[in-house]
Chain A
Amino acid sequence: MHVAITVNGGLREADVEPRTLLVDFLREHLGLTGTKVACDTSQCGSCTVHLDGKAVKSCTVLAVQAEGATITTIEGLAANGALHAVQEAFHEHHALQCGFCTPGMIMTTVDLLGRNPDPSDEEIRHGLEGNLCRCTGYHNIVRAVHEAAEAVR
């Protein structure tokens, strides 16, 4: 099937099998490997991207479902060479170690702060429950989200 999807600001078209997952379309067809696959069952959130401005797990969206949509991946988050405030905060507060969950964690955080610009500790921990990290114990991620919230405000 033919799909036309706007990805990180550019229109991308391809012929794909109907069963092609959005994450595979991004990774295999477009070479945007920043988005990760880590669980196969939609638990871990490593594959989180923005679809029409909302965070979605791209392992549970078919590429054909995204026909006509606008997608932002981790590669498209920095604008004009400047890191997004969430990327800066993750770096500054050591909110990543191996980095594998990080693209998804950052994309979810951007979405969370869009909906709630001043989240409490509890709201952050609740808001990120769809994203697993095995390295950080989440401690510094929560700090980074607070910091990013302040910067975004």
Chain B
Amino acid sequence: MTTEAPPKLFGEPVRRVEDARLITGSAKYLDDLKLPGMAHVAILRSPYAHARITSIDTAKAAAHPGVIAVFTGEDFEHLPALPCAWQAGGVENFVNTPRALEIDRVTFTGAGVAAVVAESKYAAEDALELIEVGWEPLDVLVDAEQAAAEGALQLHENAPGNIVMDWTCGDEQATADALGEAEVVVEERVVNQRLIPTPMEGRGAAAEFEPATGRYTVWMSSQDPHIMRLLMTAFVFGIPETKMRCVALHVGGGFGTKIFLYPEYVLMAALAEKVGRPVKWVETRRENYAATTHGRDHTTYLEIGAKRDGTITALRAKTYANLGGVLSTIAPGIPTTLYGRMLSGAYRIPNIHCRVLGVYTNTGMVDAYRGAGRPEATYLVERAVDLLARELELDPVAIRRKNFIPPEDFPYDPGILRGLHYDTGDYGKALDRALEIVDYEGFRSEQEEARGQGRHLGIGFSTYVEICGAAPSAWIGTVGEGWGASMWESATVRVHLTGKAVVTIGTQPQGQGHETTASQIVASELGIPIEDVTVELGDTQGAPFGYGTYASRSAAVGAVAVYKSLQRIKQKARRVAAHMLEADVEDVEFEGGRAFVKGSPETGKTIQEIAGAAALAYDLPEGEEPFLDDTTYYDPPNCTFPFGTHVAVVEVDGETGEIALKRYVAVDDVGVVINPMIVDGQVHGGIAQGIAQALWEHGIYDENGQLATSSLMDYAVPKTGFFPPFEIDRTETPTDVNPLGVKGAGETGTIASTPAVVNAVVDALAPLGIRHLEMPLTPERVWRAMHGAKG
């Protein structure tokens, strides 16, 4: 029997299999979950940034119609504070983490102190207002530098000087020497402002408890349900992982915020047990802003040293990383491993030293936000290179090209990655393509002409490199460079009797289209129609284990696990087919959905026939087990390092300080691309978030620790009209780390775009003597700089 195999789908812009649910409203997210007998939970949160709780009276709330019970922190005193699972490597970390509900003190506005369980969410919210808390407000610190200054108020007994950790990487003495000897040194204080990630779906959790088995089921809007189960069972409840099932449904965006274990998830599991009914809590947007993690918030003292010809000789950074009132799950890991160790950027910088002070303040928790450390590193390096170019009166493109790590130097050891190497790269190629698209020479003439007319046109570059595909477990585990876990991924592929395939993966998408990309790989390798592939994810009862989706690892690690299983399935298919064809297995090959005898493709068996024979097992080769399936645990030997060039073209209005983003060009190299449509979408969304940091977004606390940007009325999430169409292209330099050649594409846009925009605005205003501006570049800030500069 011969049938036409479907075309290979790997590398094609296959339309997403997820969409049918999403465009019709049938996809189920956390808040769409309705369990029989389910009660609703609302949480009372601290109105103060720093205060002692002297009393809580819940009697009136408990008596309110529809209220089932009211709980305070003391009801959960037996549960330990949440774990901090990724501490800064090689140094002491002074850890303070949140509890399910705080008991006697709060350290940021929005900390949960009481919970109402009620028959409806309206009743639960009504009753919140009836809880009477005795507050004793305390003095407040919001700025990391001030909190770390001598004599500052102490927020936690175990953290002298409010320091979470004092971490360094690189060679301190050599860097000091190189800066001392440098022909030119440029210094700047650079602020990477606090951002509020704002996924459209906030967080939420639901739980039920089965007394007969002592087993919890917890549903969460999560990027990593397996990790949630691990952290809750091992570190909070002290039960075996078999006593908890964690499930993520459709997740409405995460951008990092849904990696972490939050107090509310623990609280839901504990409440379900206490009230003996399923419970659900879904945060409001105000709760999302106050109590879900924020991102960035670095203040850095930067020095870059170079020769007069522009050759960079040293870079030194001292960074205050504001980590909030208590630590989120992997807070100390982000500004250390993922920031300090990426400060070489795309350049040969022989001497680098970075010191990071993680600092407690009375602000919301700060943890990974899309890019997680790499946007902060890239912003610093790309601003540093531009500042240096300005100082030396060099072209920003020329100085980048001069310092690029050349293609022949890969694998490249930047000296600060603790043994990891940049895998592959051709930085000049991506830069060339971007220059061609933007017509750099043409732009410079246009700019000169515009300047003659008193107009302020500018162009900005960002030639970034980032790290994806976390991570080799041995690198992560041995000396605390990563969180207290390994970082492999698993995949199980089963080909059923009918030839339909089911793939179970441990990664957990939030819009990235994992079902589509995994299906493409299966369909391509097995030669079956994509409709014949089903992807199961999001449930700890599915994949054996999975570390989840973040750090652009789902293709570079997760998809590779799928691919490896498929190779073994094809091997087994060959053995079974050889038996069916009465041929020697060495003479049988598998291609296009069929196994056939080499040289005579007309004699063969389809994958459907082979799967049927393997499942029925009436007549299998001697010693062969029934069924076509396989499970892979893939532990990558290295991380992957995507790169590229982003270019922004802006015009600044001299009268108003308003910035018009006229063009945005991105040339990314993410290695081999599985689905270009999906990768383009990731790049678009990332660019939008990065531009938004440069121009609009800023999570602001006032001096009392009140979040001034506490809703979408105040926090500037960009709208449709804020952007031009993006002009994007790619170069393709496969990685040699994995057999697919894929590097990862979820965060490049966010990492690259912020400095490109700021560099463009500073370029536009260079004739006024402006060399640096702090983000976000609001019209007021730009106008003041322009007029101050003129005056």
Contacts and interface: CB of A to CB of B under 8 A. Distances in A.
Interface stretch (A50-58, A62-70, A96-104): A96-104
A97 B689 CA distance: 14
B18 A99 contact: yes
A44 B23 CA distance: 17
A28 B720 CA distance: 30
B680 interface: yes
Contacts of B681: 94, 97, 135-136, 140
Nearest to A31: B34
A140 B122 CA distance: 37
A19 B122 contact: yes
Contacts of A40: 284-286, 711
Contact of A91 (B15, B253, B286): B15
A129 B719 contact: yes
A22 interface: no
A150 to B, nearest CB: 17
A83 interface: yes
B120 to A, nearest CB: 8
B23 A100 contact: no
Find the residue from A19, A41, A98 having the highest chain B CB count within 10 A: A98
Given A137-B726, A139-B723, A83 B200 contact: no
Find the residue from B23, B24, B198 having the highest chain A CB count within 10 A: B23
A96 B510 CA distance: 11
B25 interface: yes
B26 A34 contact: yes
Contact of B677 (A43, A73, A94): A94
A106 interface: yes
B200 A133 contact: yes
B200 A100 contact: yes
A38 B726 contact: no
B685 interface: yes
A87 B23 contact: yes
Given A78-B24, A137-B685, A98 B19 contact: no
A97 B516 CA distance: 12
B789 interface: no
Contacts of A139: 684, 688, 723, 725-726
A17 to B, nearest CB: 7
Interface string B714-758: 000101110101100000000000000000000001000000000
A12 B253 CA distance: 32
A122 B721 CA distance: 7
Nearest to B516: A94
B720 A134 contact: no
A138 B34 CA distance: 32
A91 B252 CA distance: 17
Interface in A98-153: 98-103, 106, 121-122, 124-126, 128-129, 131-142
B443 interface: no
A37 B283 CA distance: 10
Interface residues of A, number: 57
A132 B200 contact: yes
Nearest to A44: B712
Interface in B251-283: 251-253, 255
B253 A39 contact: no
A135 B685 contact: yes
B480 interface: no
Nearest to A104: B200
Contacts of A106: 23
A92 interface: yes
A74 interface: yes
A136 B683 CA distance: 8
Contacts of B284: 40
Given A33-B31, A96-B23, A100-B252, A138 B122 contact: no
A124 B723 CA distance: 12
A17 B121 CA distance: 13
Interface in B216-258: 250-253, 255
Contacts of B510: 98
Given A33-B31, A98-B199, A136 B685 contact: yes
Interface in B557-615: none
Interface string B409-445: 0000000000000000000000000000000000000
Contacts of A99: 18-19, 21-23, 27, 250, 252, 511
A83 B18 CA distance: 15
Nearest to A90: B23
Find the residue from B27, B28, B689 having the highest chain A CB count within 10 A: B27
A94 B680 contact: yes
Interface residues on B, range: 35 or more
A35 B25 contact: yes
Interface in B673-691: 677-678, 680-682, 684-689
A8 B680 CA distance: 35
Nearest to B25: A34
A124 B25 contact: no
Contact of B721 (A41, A87, A126, A135): A126
B512 interface: yes
A15 interface: no
B285 A136 contact: no
Contacts of A74: 23-25
A13 interface: no
A61 interface: no
A137 B723 CA distance: 8
A116 B745 CA distance: 36
B546 interface: no
B253 A98 contact: yes
A129 B719 CA distance: 6
B15 A92 contact: yes
Nearest to B22: A99
A90 B721 contact: no
B757 to A, nearest CB: 13
Nearest to B721: A125
Nearest to A38: B200
Contacts of A102: 22-23
Contacts of B712: 39, 41, 43-44, 132
Interface string A7-31: 0000000000101100000010001
B122 A17 contact: yes
A43 B23 CA distance: 21
A32 interface: yes
Nearest to B512: A97
A98 B686 CA distance: 14
A33 B511 contact: no
B26 A75 contact: yes
Contacts of A92: 15
Given A33-B28, A129-B719, A38 B684 contact: no
A38 B749 CA distance: 24
A36 B687 CA distance: 25
B250 to A, nearest CB: 7
Contacts of B630: none
B483 interface: no
B29 interface: yes
B11 interface: no
28 contacts: A33-B29, A33-B32, A34-B26, A35-B25, A40-B286, A41-B713, A43-B712, A43-B713, A74-B23, A75-B24, A83-B23, A94-B678, A96-B511, A97-B512, A97-B682, A98-B199, A98-B250, A98-B251, A102-B22, A125-B719, A128-B719, A134-B200, A137-B686, A137-B688, A137-B749, A138-B723, A139-B723, A140-B680
Given A98-B252, A101-B200, 9 more contacts: A34-B24, A38-B285, A90-B19, A94-B680, A135-B200, A136-B684, A137-B684, A137-B689, A138-B720
- The 10 residue pairs across chains A and B that have the minimum distance between CB atoms: A34-B25, A100-B252, A98-B511, A99-B22, A137-B688, A97-B511, A74-B25, A43-B712, A33-B32, A137-B684
Interface of B: 15-16, 18-29, 31-32, 34, 122, 198-202, 250-253, 255, 284-286, 510-513, 677-678, 680-682, 684-689, 711-713, 717, 719-721, 723, 725-726, 749
